[in-house]
Amino acid sequence: MIKLDHVSKTYRNGVTALEDVSLEIEKGEFVFVVGPSGSGKSTMIRLLLKEEEATLGTVHVAGKNLANVSSWKVPHLRRNVGTVFQDYKLLQDKTAFENVGFALEVIGKAKQVIDQRVPEILEYVGLGDKLNAFPDELSGGEQQRVSIARACVNRPLVLLADEPTGNLDPTTSVDIMRLLDKVNRIGTTVVMATHDQAIVDAMRKRVIELEKGRVIRDQSRGVYA
């Protein structure tokens, strides 16, 4: 599903964020990418979304070599890749329903599809009773659920989560992890960048550890350190 082959990324200011990274993630896997700040986790996620391009090496996502995906086709690539961030990225003037519906609306889905799928997915993430709540009426955990619902509503092949529990307390974090696990169980490949040690240790999933842009550990059923 995801394949990095000798990938290096050097930014224009000369900072090398990734250096000779090779790894492969199979369809339906759940992978933690761990490492301290600046180790290259976010760069890796940006490469998978083609927000940045690799300086060296090749990146494959969903069977496509991203170097060959022309810029006008990038939007279609992103429809196969859901994204969740630490800061939720919800629109404050839209309800939970509208926030999730927005993702379908802007890729041209019909109103009937939105009216059918959005309540379904919000029910799925446990917010069936908060369709019309605005983000500031929701707790952090609930906002992150809306954001996960938005990432999953278009049934992506891959879900990229960049520090999804970064702003949440431990109990809420566990709830979010349960949800991500649930999403993973229906076949979505999940890649989660984090430095939440307790969560990584509790989940016992594959762990890829980065340090200064290099993979220093790739372990199935691993722990944080």
Partner 1 sequence: MRRIDYYFRETASGLRRNGVVAFAAMSTAFIALFLFGLALLIARQFDLVITAWTGNVEVAVYLDDPASPETVTRVQEILVDLPVVTDVEYWDKDRTCEQYAELFANQRAFLENVNCRQTIPTSLRVSLSDPARFDTITAALTCQDQRQEDGSVDQVCATPGILRVSDFSELLDRLVVITRVLSIGVLSIALIMLVSAIFLVANTLRMGLFARRKEIGIMRLVGATNWRIRVPFLIEGLVETVLGAAAAVFTLFLVKVVFIDRLRENVQFFPLIKNSDVLAVAPWIVLAAAVVAVIAGTIGMRRFLDV
Q: Among 150, 195, 205, 206, indicate the residue that binds partner 1 (CB under 8 A).
A: 150
Q: Among 9, 41, 78, 195, indicate the residue that binds partner 1 (CB under 8 A).
A: 78
Q: Which is nearer to partner 1, 35 or 101 (CB)?
A: 101
- Residue 64 in tokens: 């496509």
- Cα–Cα dist 164/88, whole Å: 8
Q: From the CB of residue 110, how many other CB atoms can be counted at a distance below 10 Å?
A: 10
* Phi then psi dihedrals of residue 102, to 5 deg: -55, -40
- Cα–Cα dist 161/42, whole Å: 10
* Segment lying near partner 1 (by CB under 8 A), choices 1-9, 54-62, 66-74, 116-124: 66-74
Residue 34 CA: distances (Å) to CA of 155, 211, 214: 26, 9, 11
If you count them, how many residues does the chain have? 225
Q: Among 63, 75, 128, 170, indicate the residue that binds partner 1 (CB under 8 A).
A: 75
Q: Which is nearer to partner 1, 79 or 185 (CB)?
A: 79
- Establish if 27 lies at the interface with partner 1 (CB under 8 A): no
Q: Among 5, 98, 105, 175, indicate the residue that binds partner 1 (CB under 8 A).
A: 105
- Establish if 145 lies at the interface with partner 1 (CB under 8 A): no
Among residues 25, 105, 99, 17, the alpha carbon closest in space to that of 53 is found at 17
- Establish if 51 lies at the interface with partner 1 (CB under 8 A): yes
Catalog residues that contact partner 1 under the rule CB under 8 A.
49-51, 71-72, 74-79, 83, 89, 91, 102-103, 105-108, 110-111, 150, 154
